[in-house]
Structures are given as structure tokens and as C-alpha cells.
Structure 1
Amino acid sequence: MEKQLFDVVIIGGGPAGLNAALVLGRARKKVAVIDEGRPRNAVTREVHGFLTRDGISPREFRRIAKEEISGYPSVSFVPDTAVSIAGTDGRFQIETEQGQTIASKKVLFAVGMKDRPLDIQGLAEVYGKSAFVCPYCDGWELRDQPLVIINKGAELMHFAPVISGWTNRFTVCTNGPDELTDSQREELRRNQVPLFDSPIRQIDSSDGIVRQVVLEDGTIIPARGIFFKPELVTGSDLPRTLGCQLTEWGTVVVDEFGKTNVPGVYSAGDAASRMHQAIAAASAGAFVAVVINNQLNTEAWGRNG
């Protein structure tokens, strides 16, 4: 593989990277997908909101995707981790953890996001089983259940009305100062939402199902599920290393075509968006793949002119 020049290297094999590989494979481009096989959504049992795949496990989703893509022989899968990248548009060089050197004309970062360590005792045991981050992905399964929402400040005031569509039985734990205004606290009170700012001591659970949230002041809140705001970082430092501009949230800055500020480098999916849903990531991957393919074809056409 070291001696080949690929048209596109896709770093990341989630929905964005896989759909990009499918589109580029069908466009007869030579593609390498580098992925370590440790997706963020591995903790979840099911993917939801994806037409024809609602309820599928993330592992099975990837297996089917790779099986479909294997029908296009110009796409290669590299079960490895990209650790460095250098070069410029038309000739990038990616080094992997296992010592491979892969050259490519274009690069697509589909590296997703990853969670910072969960610092609430007991949260790791329920994450992906009865504690989630997105009600559009997992709200149906917790409909009408007593929930605890772990959030604060402006984001809480966005989230509270949203989650009320699935259940009106929820309690807010801000795990410290709530960062709310008096009028925002009054808004929660009018909607009969209990609010606690005591730090969380622990989350008690059984077989991954939340039983109660225990606060430092001794308050015990029975619950059957949790929605919390995760602390996220970009799934790889390589976009920053290569000079890609990042937002304050850590996502890669792209234009409407998925282009970064670095010529020849693109990004799609969770790495470049705050719409963290599998179907949105897959759609972005497909669209950016079309942009990349059109650019490659235009460049080849110009060389022949």
C-alpha cells in the first residue's frame, strides 16, 4: 500500500466515512478508509432514526455497510490508526500506527467526536443503556418515564422544552452552580420542573438501568433514565495538526461544500457538525464525497486540456 497513490484517504469509518467511501467507490475512485474500529457509539445498543435501519446495533450497521462497499474493488479498508499527516493538495502522506505510509490526493476527515472521561460516579455503568445524550436517538425508549437531566445554563434551557415532548416527569440536576438567571429558574418552576444544584455523589443502577441519583446534600432522586450533556473533543488531533481551523466546540470548520481552510482537505459528519445523528453524518459524507469526486474529475479534465 505504501507505493500506491490514492485519490482519497478517508480517516474515520463511521456513517460519514462509510457513505463517502460508497459514493467514491461508485465513482471509480481509489479510496482508502483508515479506521481503528473503536467508534464512540460502540457503547450504545441501537441506532435510531435511520430509515430502513432503525434499531440496528452500531456493529451490525458497520458490517452491512462494509459488505455493500466491498462490491466496489477500488475501496480498501485499513484497520489501523492514522497518527500523522503531512503534504499538500495532490500529495498528502498519512502515517499509521502500524507503520504504513499512505499517499493520497485528497483527505476527508470523518473522525467524529469522542467523550472526555465521565467524571460522575456510576455514569459509565449506565451510559448507552439508560443514560443517553440525544432524545431524538433514544427518547422513545424512555417516553413517560421519570428522568434526570444533567445539564445547566443556556443549554439546559434549550434542552428542557425539547425533552418535554417525550416525558413531563423529569428533574434537573446541574451538578454544581446552575448558571441560570432568575427568570430562567422561574420558567422551570412554572413548568413544574424540580431543580437541584447540589453536586452529584453517585448514580445507582442495576444491570445498566438507572435506579436513583444521589446528591452530595443527601437528596435522592428516583429515576429510570438520564439525559446528560457530554464533554466532547474531536476524534483525532490530525485536523488541528494539519492546520484546519476548529470552532470553540472543537468541530472542524468547513464551508457549505465540506471544504476546510486547508486546500485538498475536507471534513464531514460529527467532526464537522453539531448535528450528532447517524443519518445526518451519512448524508454529509455522501454529499462531500460528490464534491471531492467532482474536484478530482475537474482537475484531471484540466490536465488533459
Structure 2
Amino acid sequence: MKNKDHEVIIIGGSFSGLSAALTLGRMLRKVLIIDYAQPCNRNARSSQNFITNDGESPLAIIEIARTKLSKYSNIKLIYDLAVSVEKRADGFMVTTMSKQMFTANKLIYATGIKDHLPNIDGFHSCWGISAIHCPYCHGYEYRGKRTAILANGEAAINMTAIIKNLTEYIVILTNGPADFNETQLNLLKKNKVHIMETPIKKLMHKNGQLNIVMFIDNIQIEIDVLYSSPPYVQHPEVTKWLPLELTDNGLIKVDHSQETTISGIYACGDNCSAMRTISQAIFTGNLAAAMVNTKLTDEDFYTI
């Protein structure tokens, strides 16, 4: 066990990866974090619904976490991109973009996911600021505001039902023909929710703060916030490294201990959980690390 560069390599240094590193570091495990510094919430100006840090910048929270981790001499953080993972008989080898190679007994993937944002002019600039995906994370700040939901069918109904408690002004933008059955249409009518089917041309904003949605017929409506749940995929490198099994939703399949379908590789955070919150990422990172430590302990202590 001790002949490796590290006992555990964590790929990804955002909330879940740092949480895992802290747990392992406090158990005196030799840990390496490889981080490319591209968290999915990097555009967000503040992070809500996270106790003790409600309203703080997510990047600021990460920086504080890294500073606190620096007191643990057995935790090393490098800024690089993991480009290959090789499974060996006695562990794993990770190669980075800078051509460094590291070995470890166990791996933790804290790689997040990659959002496929809609090809709408202005959407990228608003994403994480006024084009948002989670009412629990950002909805309070937009309570009572003019609200649009970019969705269709059952997904639009589900999101509308949640957001209706936050504002009375809601319009569903289907960005093409609406797909609602009669029952759903009656629900929307009862709750005074409007539907606009015209494809969207542009989101007009100031420094990411949305104010107008323009449609292809040049009709405009004033909007303060746009909810959207774009499709996502695993980062391409993750699926190329080793043949991990994914769920039907494209998440890394893990068991109760956060271990993937490849023995010795664990996952945590957004890459394996549909609950995309900071608190969930931290919890799964902590759990994965505890399970990894247990496995390392079993392999060392109980081996005759």
C-alpha cells in the first residue's frame, strides 16, 4: 500500500472533492487533488441555501476551503487536467495534461458534469446569474419577480408548481410548439400561467442580469429571471478513461458507499447525484472519503 505516490487521488477540486480531501486528510491519508479549476457554478455570484454561507460567492467558499486544507501536509493540490486513468493490478495511474504521472491505491471522481446550454443568444452570459436551474438555490432572491420557465410538457408543469409559491407572474416559454395535454392546460389556466410558443431569438441583459426576452418575430417581454434545466453529460474525459457504468440519466452509477462499478473508484458530487446543491456535494464527498478510508483500513489492518 505504501509504495504508491499517494493512497488516494481525487480528480476534481470543487466542493465534493475538497470535502473528500478533508475527511481523508484528517485520517492521515496521503492525498492528491488534481483540479482543472472549472467548476460548473463558476458564473454564479452567490450561493444560497447553504447554512453558514448563505449568500456567499461559491468561488470564495472554495478558496477558504483550500486555505484551510493547506494546513494538512499530507494533502497536495495541483492545478492540472487528468487526461488518462489506467487500472493496474495494485491500483491506478493517472496522467495529466502536463504529462505528470501519479499512482494511488484508490481514486475518487469529483469531476462534476457538463451542461449543454441552449443555443440562444445571451443565454451563456446570463447562466448562473439570472438564467438559473434551481429554485431552492436562487428562487428566494427572485421572489415576486417576472419569471419565465424555459421548458415544455411535464418538466414545465413540475417546475411551475414549485415556483408558483415564489411569484404570481409566470410565463412558460416552450421555444416551439407546446406539448401539454388538456389536464395540464387546465392547471396552467387555473393558476394564471401564460404560455408562449414562439422560438426565442435573444436574451437581452446587462452584465448577465436578464431584462428582456426577444422572440424571432421581434416581440419582446420583460423578464427578470429565467429558469432552465438544460441537459447534461459527463465530462468527455471521464467516460474515456475506464468503462464506468452510467445510470439512465447519464450519472455515474454508485452504490451505498459511493463506489462505482469499477472496484477502487468512487464518485461524489454532481457527476453521480441529481441533487445539484453544495450541501449534497459536500455530503457525498464526505461519505466517499469515509468509505475509501474504511476500505484502505480493511486492506491494511486485516491482511495477514
Per the TM superposition, whether the score is higher than 0.5 is: yes
CA distance in 1, matches of 2:85, 2:63: 28
Contact 1:89 1:106 in 2 (8 A): no
CA distance in 2, matches of 1:286, 1:48: 20
Matched residue type, 1:120: I
Post-superposition shift, 1:283? 0.8
> Structure 1 vs Structure 2: percent identity of aligned residues?
31
Q: Residue 93 of structure 2 corresponds to which residue in structure 1? A: 93
Q: Residue 124 of structure 2 corresponds to which residue in structure 1? A: 124
CA distance in 2, matches of 1:289, 1:258: 9
Which sections of structure 1, spanning at least 5 residues, go unmatched?
none
The C-alpha deviation readout for 1:22-72, integer Å capped at 9, x for no partner, is 000001111111101111111110111111111111221111101111121
Identify if the C-alpha distance between structure 1 residues 89 and 56 changes in structure 2 by more than 3 Å, giving closer, same or farther. farther
Contact 2:84 2:237 in 1 (8 A): no
Matched residue type, 2:257: F
Which sections of structure 2, spanning at least 5 residues, go unmatched?
none
Q: Residue 279 of structure 1 corresponds to which residue in structure 2? A: 279
Q: Residue 235 of structure 2 corresponds to which residue in structure 1? A: 235
Q: Residue 62 of structure 1 corresponds to which residue in structure 2? A: 62
Secondary structure at the aligned position of 1:237 is classed as: helix
Q: Residue 266 of structure 1 corresponds to which residue in structure 2? A: 266
Q: Residue 210 of structure 2 corresponds to which residue in structure 1? A: 210
Q: Residue 288 of structure 1 corresponds to which residue in structure 2? A: 288
The C-alpha deviation readout for 1:222-241, integer Å capped at 9, x for no partner, is 11111112221213532453
Identify if the C-alpha distance between structure 1 residues 167 and 90 changes in structure 2 by more than 3 Å, giving closer, same or farther. farther
CA distance in 2, matches of 1:141, 1:207: 17
The C-alpha deviation readout for 1:231-284, integer Å capped at 9, x for no partner, is 212135324531111123321011111011101011111000000001110011
Matched residue type, 2:276: H
Task: Tell me if 1:15 matches 2:11.
Answer: no
Q: Residue 109 of structure 1 corresponds to which residue in structure 2? A: 109
Q: Residue 257 of structure 2 corresponds to which residue in structure 1? A: 257
Q: Residue 37 of structure 1 corresponds to which residue in structure 2? A: 37
Identify if the C-alpha distance between structure 1 residues 240 and 250 changes in structure 2 by more than 3 Å, giving closer, same or farther. farther
Contact 2:117 2:230 in 1 (8 A): no
Contact 1:258 1:288 in 2 (8 A): yes
CA distance in 1, matches of 2:226, 2:192: 18
The C-alpha deviation readout for 1:189-241, integer Å capped at 9, x for no partner, is 11110011221111112232212112224432211111112221213532453
Q: Residue 80 of structure 1 corresponds to which residue in structure 2? A: 80
Contact 2:4 2:105 in 1 (8 A): no
**Deviating 4+ runs (over 3 angstroms):** none
Contact 1:5 1:105 in 2 (8 A): no
Contact 1:90 1:264 in 2 (8 A): no
Post-superposition shift, 1:90? 3.8
CA distance in 2, matches of 1:107, 1:89: 14
Which 10-residue stretch deviates more, 134-143 or 181-190?
Answer: 181-190
Post-superposition shift, 1:113? 1.1
CA distance in 1, matches of 2:89, 2:298: 14
Matched residue type, 1:270: D
Identify if the C-alpha distance between structure 1 residues 239 and 259 changes in structure 2 by more than 3 Å, giving closer, same or farther. farther
CA distance in 2, matches of 1:71, 1:276: 29
Matched residue type, 1:214: M
